[in-house]
Amino acid sequence: MSLEDYKEKRNFEITSEPPGEVHGEGGNVYIVQKHQATHLHYDLRLGREGVLKSWAVPKEPPTHRGTKRLAIQVEDHPIEYADFDGTIPEGEYGAGTVEIWDRGTYETEKWKEDEIIIHINGSKLYGRYCLVRFRRVENGWLFFKCQR
């Protein structure tokens, strides 16, 4: 894994976002950040392979079964980003306010190229969640609370 794409998009002399490094496993960190950039969206991040695997979710993440959300996979972020809460300066990639919306841990039930099933232990999201590749949209996934 590499954080090259992440680092190329940012000027760390201007932004307070962490430059970070790839770590061991990355633990089972789960975080959702509310990001008021050009458009309000939510960033779902899961610690895996020493980085935070990341998806931009255009609408509030689903808390009940039956609600599906589009999730666009974006570049990996450093594990340290799980603690980032602040403002990305105007003119920088992702400019706007980032605040922690939910956090906790997760357990992996299945992690395949086209399907991820996890058990989230957050304060707003908890239970069994699925990410399923949605091929109609580039880098698209569907994110939803799934049944047992």
Q: How many domains does the chain have?
A: 1
For residue 49, the enclosing domain spans 4-145
**Res 33: pLDDT:** 98
Q: pLDDT tens for residues 116-136? A: 999 999 999 999 999 999 999
Residue 10 near residue 17, CB atoms below 8 Å? yes
**Res 12: pLDDT:** 92
Q: pLDDT tens for residues 82-110? A: 999 999 999 999 999 999 999 999 999 99
**Res 27: pLDDT:** 77
Q: pLDDT tens for residues 22-65? A: 877 667 999 999 999 999 999 999 999 999 999 999 999 999 99
Kindly state the tokens that stand for 64: 């009940």
User: What string of DSSP letters covers 20-46?
Assistant: ----SS-TTEEEEEEEESSSEEEEEEE
CA 54/CA 33 separation, integer angstroms: 11
Burial class (CB in 10 A: 0-12, 13-18, 19+), 101: buried
The pTM is what?
Answer: 0.93
